RNA sequence: GCGCUCGUAGCUCAACGGAUAGAGCGCAGCCCUGCGAAGGCUGAGGCUGUGGGUUCGAGUCCCACCGAGCGCACCA
């Protein structure tokens, strides 16, 4: 059990005991009674049970606190407790208990920070899922980084995680893309060909088709148009997906499953989900098109599923896809990460999930707000259609993968953010990314140094770690598992970069105040143990964020 | 016009309904003849967009307004 939960239990027991003795009137305590104070002088934890019960018990919070505190089992964990107006109970952990965790952390090693809150539950995180009609650009970077970090965190929380990319390989946009490729290919062969209306005019299409013309010669042009189009589409899709995969790997974003939209039509999932909607009476015919009545389930407008032409819309296959996620593969939890431009689809998808018989509360859609790219003071417009694109690849080359990940991760998804390219590069000598990694490298340096001197610290006595900076570092390390659990539960990875900075600060401060390798052999060994624990914690943070853990810089 | 999201230090951003709202960058100073100065310390800098409300307590919840972004297709 984690310390936080253990404390909550102790306070609930004491509260009940006080009631049993008649010291407090009956009434249930609140659910959330333990929190982390902002100020260190307020202790390691604060219990708010007294203030939260004041109303129902009709007693001043101070009186309640005074009745509860004497009955709390302090065990080996609690050093002391203070009652502070208006009714906080501040808890200080015992140094011995803190010190013991240095050993615990070292014993856990790479598993330190992992918790079991998600054990036995399967979660799917679907993210990026960009149409394979062009390279990944910076607008997608945020969701990519966010999704991969969230998946890492969920895995650390014990979930069985599937990282998934939904490949829209079936829609009208793809047809348009294929026709654009075909036209550019013919042009590359020197033939007359017109780009389709609203076609993909990016330079990458031109370049790709020139290569293709070189490779294939006129072979694809000599086929009947329909066949050539299909063939060039097949090749284009394959190459585009490969490029997307490579670009994503450059920011350490990988997937377990690349799920094909077309497969939903091939394996009958689409038919099945449409049939279910029909049986539920959610489908109506209007003007020759088939509509899903999402307004019956709280949406603000109905949605077309099958066009008058007979072609299913994107939404129809998305309905089938979510049927697959929730009812076929039966994930316990499904997280979709979308861009702000898909905001209006959230209620629609939730409605259709419900109509398909799934529990919509299992589905969470995280909307990542737009990223405004700036270069100097100038806004950079990124758009595939106009061909003015700033690719993810360019961004990574400019600011580096670690900086890229850190900056995207440090902001909560719903906050619109600005990313100034010049600033990110200019800051690179003095930016938080280096602060963290320098901390890790510094730790590695000390351990290297100790090893070179033949110092072994397995028999170090952690009871010697009594300096405030030492205990603060241990405290900070200890809160990582708690943070992982909270982030997984709330689906909020953005706390991790902030925690990592605090951990680095605690280490740097310790380093500054407490000489590790000294003439005092016993203290040296004890401190080396702490440094080792700090290495484990720091590395875990960086790994969860998908950042490098350099031993030297 | 309607819907969703967001307005917090000069800039970029944090803050389970809790205590004197915190970091980083930038700015002004100080600290290496001992393990990595890519570090540490000190200081200046805020009516949390505005106005109401809910309660022991509001940056956080509710209402109105102002401002920004994104939606409101038989595109995805």
Query: What would the pLDDT profile of A345-402 be if each residue is shown by its tens digit?
Result: 999 999 999 999 999 889 999 999 888 887 766 666 655 444 445 788 888 888 889 9
Percent of residues, chain A, with pLDDT higher than 70:
97
The pLDDT assigned to A417 comes to 84
Give the strand pairing for A122-126 and A160-167: parallel
pLDDT tens figures, A32-83: 899 998 888 889 999 999 998 888 888 888 999 999 999 999 999 999 999 9
Residue position matching structure tokens 């964990």? A77
In chain A, ranges of CATH 1.10.730.10 domains: 429-544
Task: Give the residues across from A81 on adjacent strands.
Answer: A91
Question: Is the pLDDT confidence value at A448 over 50?
Answer: yes
Three-class secondary structure of residue A410 per DSSP: coil
Chain A window 253-282: residues with CB closer than 7 Å to nucleic chain B are none
Measuring alpha carbon to C1', the residue closest to nucleotide B55 is A55
* Mean of all residue pLDDT scores within chain A: 91
The rounded distance, in Å, linking the Cα atoms of A352 and A404 is: 36
- Pick the most confident of A292-296, A387-391, A429-433: A292-296
Q: Is the CB of A414 under 7 A from strand B?
A: yes
pLDDT band with cut points at 50, 70 and 90 for residue A416: confident
- Region A12-39: mean pLDDT is 90
Is the separation of the CB atoms in A517 and A449 below 8 Å?
yes
For residue A120, how far is the Cα from the chain centroid?
20
Q: Where are the beta strands (DSSP E) in A212-332?
A: 257-260, 283-286, 289-292, 303-306
The pLDDT assigned to A376 comes to 65
- Region A433-440: mean pLDDT is 90
Strand arrangement of the beta sheet that strand A88-93 belongs to: A34-35, A45-47, A88-93, A78-84
pLDDT tens figures, A153-176: 999 999 999 999 999 998 888 989
Q: Is the CB of A427 under 7 A from strand B?
A: yes
Q: Is the CB of A518 under 7 A from strand B?
A: yes
pLDDT band with cut points at 50, 70 and 90 for residue A533: very high
Question: Is the pLDDT confidence value at A433 over 90?
Answer: no
Q: Quick one: which of A49, A52, A47, A51 has its CA closest to A92?
A: A47
- Which top CATH class is A429-544? mainly alpha
Q: Is the CB of A369 under 7 A from strand B?
A: yes
Length A549 CA → B38 C1' (Å) = 15
Is the separation of the CB atoms in A43 and A91 below 8 Å?
yes
- Region A196-217: mean pLDDT is 89
Eight-state DSSP code of residue A327: I
In chain A, ranges of CATH 3.30.1360.70 domains: 3-93
The pLDDT assigned to A199 comes to 86
Residue position matching structure tokens 């316990």? A332
pLDDT tens figures, A259-284: 999 999 999 999 999 999 999 999 99
Q: Is the CB of A30 under 7 A from strand B?
A: no
CATH number for the segment(s) A3-93 = 3.30.1360.70
Q: Is the CB of A42 under 7 A from strand B?
A: yes
- Region A180-193: mean pLDDT is 92
Question: Is the pLDDT confidence value at A409 over 60?
Answer: yes
pLDDT band with cut points at 50, 70 and 90 for residue A10: very high
The pLDDT assigned to A378 comes to 67
The pLDDT assigned to A29 comes to 86
Burial class (CB in 10 A: 0-12, 13-18, 19+), A112: buried
Measuring alpha carbon to C1', the residue closest to nucleotide B18 is A48
The pLDDT assigned to A255 comes to 97
- Region A240-250: mean pLDDT is 95
Which residue would you say has higher pLDDT here, A426 or A268?
A: A268
Chain A window 125-184: residues with CB closer than 7 Å to nucleic chain B are 131, 168, 171-173
Is the separation of the CB atoms in A197 and A288 below 8 Å?
no
Percent of residues, chain A, with pLDDT higher than 90:
69
pLDDT tens figures, A491-520: 999 999 999 999 999 999 999 999 999 999
The pLDDT assigned to A81 comes to 94
Q: Quick one: which of A472, A348, A338 has its CA closest to A414?
A: A338
Counts of helices then strands in chain A (DSSP H, E)? 20, 15
The pLDDT assigned to A385 comes to 45
Q: How many CA atoms lie within 13 A of A158 on its CB side?
A: 12
pLDDT band with cut points at 50, 70 and 90 for residue A428: low
């Amino acid at each position: 059990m984690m310390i936080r939960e253990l404390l909550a239990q102790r306070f609930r027991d004491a509260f009940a005991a006080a009631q049993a003795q008649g010291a407090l009137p009956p009434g249930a305590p609140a659910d959330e009674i333990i929190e982390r104070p902002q100020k260190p002088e307020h202790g390691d934890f604060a219990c708010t049970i007294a203030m939260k019960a004041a109303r129902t018990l009709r007693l001043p919070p101070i009186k309640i606190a005074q009745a509860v505190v004497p009955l709390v089992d302090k065990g080996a964990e609690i050093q002391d407790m203070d009652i502070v107006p208006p009714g906080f109970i501040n808890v200080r952990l015992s140094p011995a208990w803190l010190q013991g965790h240095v050993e615990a952390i070292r014993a856990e090693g790479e598993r330190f920070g992992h918790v079991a809150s998600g054990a036995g539950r399967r979660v799917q995180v679907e993210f990026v899922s960009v149409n394979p009609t062009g390279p990944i650009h910076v607008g997608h970077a945020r969701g990519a980084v966010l999704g991969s970090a969230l998946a890492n965190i969920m895995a650390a929380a014990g979930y069985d995680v599937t990282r998934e990319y939904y490949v829209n390989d079936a829609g009208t946009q793809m047809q348009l893309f294929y026709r654009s490729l075909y036209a550019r290919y013919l042009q590359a062969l020197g033939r007359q060909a017109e780009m389709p209306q609203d076609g993909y005019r990016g330079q990458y299409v031109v370049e790709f088709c020139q290569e293709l013309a070189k490779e294939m010669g006129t072979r694809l042009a000599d086929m009947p148009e329909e066949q050539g189009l299909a063939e060039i589409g097949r090749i284009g899709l394959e190459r585009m997906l490969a490029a997307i995969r490579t670009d994503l790997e450059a920011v350490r974003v990988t997937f377990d499953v690349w799920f094909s939209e077309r497969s939903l039509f091939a394996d009958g999932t689409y038919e099945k989900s449409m049939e279910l909607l029909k049986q539920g009476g959610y489908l109506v015919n209007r003007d020759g098109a088939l509509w899903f009545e999402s307004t019956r389930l709280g949406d603000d407008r109905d949605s077309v599923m099958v066009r008058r032409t007979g072609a299913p819309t994107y939404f129809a296959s998305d309905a089938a896809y979510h049927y697959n996620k929730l009812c076929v593969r039966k994930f316990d939890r499904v997280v979709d990460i979308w861009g702000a431009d898909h905001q209006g689809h959230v209620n629609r998808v939730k409605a259709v999930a419900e109509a398909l018989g799934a529990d919509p509360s299992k589905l969470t859609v995280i909307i990542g707000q737009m990223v405004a790219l700036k270069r100097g003071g100038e806004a950079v417009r990124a758009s595939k259609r106009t061909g003015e694109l700033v690719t993810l690849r360019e961004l990574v080359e400019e600011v580096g993968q670690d900086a890229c990940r850190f900056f995207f991760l440090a902001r909560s998804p719903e906050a619109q953010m600005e990313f100034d390219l010049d600033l990110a590069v200019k800051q690179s000598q003095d930016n938080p990314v280096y602060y963290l990694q320098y901390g890790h490298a510094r730790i590695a340096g000390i351990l290297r140094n100790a090893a070179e001197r033949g110092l072994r610290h397995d028999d170090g006595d952690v009871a010697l770690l009594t300096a405030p900076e030492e205990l603060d570092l241990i405290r900070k390390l200890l809160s990582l598992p708690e943070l992982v659990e909270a982030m997984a539960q709330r689906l909020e990875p953005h706390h991790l970069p902030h925690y990592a900075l605090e951990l680095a600060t605690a280490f740097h401060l310790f380093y500054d105040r407490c000489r590790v390798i000294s003439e005092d052999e016993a203290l040296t060994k004890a401190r080396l143990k702490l440094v080792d624990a700090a290495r484990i914690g720091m590395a875990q943070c960086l790994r969860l964020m998908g950042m490098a853990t350099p031993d030297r810089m």
